[in-house]
Structures are given as C-alpha cells and as structure tokens.
Amino acid sequence: MNINGVPLFLMFHQIVKSNDQIKSDYDIEFDSFELIIKSIYKINNNLKKSNQLTIIPTFDDGNKSDLECARLLNKYKINGIFFIIIDRINKNGYLTENDLLEIQKMGHYIGSHTMSHLVCPASKTEVVFNEFCESKKYLEKLLKSECEHFSFPGGLFTKRDFTLAKKANFKYIFSTFEKFPAYLKNNKVISRIHIRQSTLTKLNSIFELKKSYYLSRYFRSCLKEFRDICKFKTL
C-alpha cells in the first residue's frame, strides 16, 4: 500500500440510492457519497495544500453497494480498501466473487473482515486465529494475490487479537478507533474516522483537520473502549 504523506482513513458502510432507503446511521445516500469523493479528489490532488494529507476511503462488510463505490472511486482515480465478511460473499445484498475480482482489477485493495463478522474478544483463541487465517486464505486463493489488510469487526479487539492478526501475516490492521491522523507505524492498529449520517455535517472539520473535532472523537472512542473493557473483561 503506497501512500504519499499522512493517511486519513475514512470508514463507510452501506451506500444507498435514495434517502428513503436510509435505515440506519451507517447508510449514506449515493449523491452525498459522490460529493464526499469529489472533495477527497480535490484534497488529494491539491498541490498547494500546506499538509501532506492523503485521504483513503475504506468500506466494511462487503455490501453490494461497494461495487458502485469502487467504480466511482476509479472514476476519480482514488484507491479504496474493501473489508469483506467471507461468509456473506455471493449472498443477497453482498458482493459476489466476480464483484471482488472486478474491484481488484480496478486497483483497489481487498481485505478481511473475518469469516463471520466475529466478535473477537468474546471468542476462543483458536476460533479467532482460524477465522483470521481462513479468511486470508480464501481471499488469496480467489484474488491470486497477498491479502495484507484486515479490520476488526465492530472495532472490537484485545491485545491477544492484535497479536493473532499479526501472526496471521496481516500487514495493515484497522480498528474503528478515531483519532488525529498520523504516519503509519509497525505494530500499531490503524485508526479510522467514521462517516455516517450523524457526521455528514462535520466533513469540513474532518477534512480541515480541526483539532477540536478530532479531540471529541478521540474521547468518544476512549469511552467506547472503556465500555468494551467492562463488557468483555479481557481487553
């Protein structure tokens, strides 16, 4: 994964065709999505920008809408990362194997989101490691290339889970923790900024790297992490 400058990873889920199809905070209407992509294109190609920011869209779950998203990114010469739940491939509402091959052919990255959208901290070590390895093996067999990218379902993971993901030979390991963008470092989980209905009005703060906004998202993530520690008692 070649990145010029400091990466800002955005996290999307499902993109829908019209506002009346929006069923959750995760759903973004396609026209709104395209406006976001146009903004990303301008920022990534602004030779006069004072920072070295490069924005990379990521997509969780392998929803069928990912194919249209990939085509739009291709139109604007933006590479995205698509995290796939293997057990949902070829299922209604999700990508097919042929879709994944098309997305790969466009130059996008395809990563694992486990076999079953596993809740890693609540699962046994052998189950977690098996899902990591089997999902990686499946994608590499299908795509005939190394699968380097992985994201934890729900952003839930323990130190054990991160160690297992590294052991499974994933190079880029993502969470849903939100914080100010920074250069990638080895042995560090990669953070992402959520793009949802509830954050669409904050896009300027996100793209302009407003520290007050990132601080608020950081504290929100810390609170979520604390709740997860209490819930799973293993983090």
Helix axes 30-44, 66-75, angle to 10 degrees: 40
Residue 67 and residue 45: Cα distance in Å, rounded?
A: 24
Residue 164 CA neighbour count, 13 Å, CB half? 23
In one letter, which amino acid is 171?
K
Q: Domain residues of the chain, as ranges?
A: 6-232
Residue 115 and residue 132: Cα distance in Å, rounded?
A: 7
Domain 6-232: which topology? TIM Barrel (3.20.20)
- Count of CB atoms within 10 A of residue 220's CB? 13
Would you write out the chain's pLDDT as a tens digit for each of its 235 residues?
878 789 999 999 999 999 999 999 999 999 999 999 999 999 999 866 666 889 999 999 999 999 999 999 999 999 999 999 999 999 999 999 999 999 999 999 999 999 999 999 999 999 999 999 999 999 999 999 999 999 999 999 999 999 999 999 999 999 999 999 999 987 899 999 999 999 999 999 999 999 999 999 999 999 988 888 787 764 4
Q: Where are the alpha helices (DSSP H) in 48-202?
A: 66-75, 97-105, 125-143, 159-167
Q: Which of 63, 60, 70, 137 is CA-nearest to residue 101?
A: 70
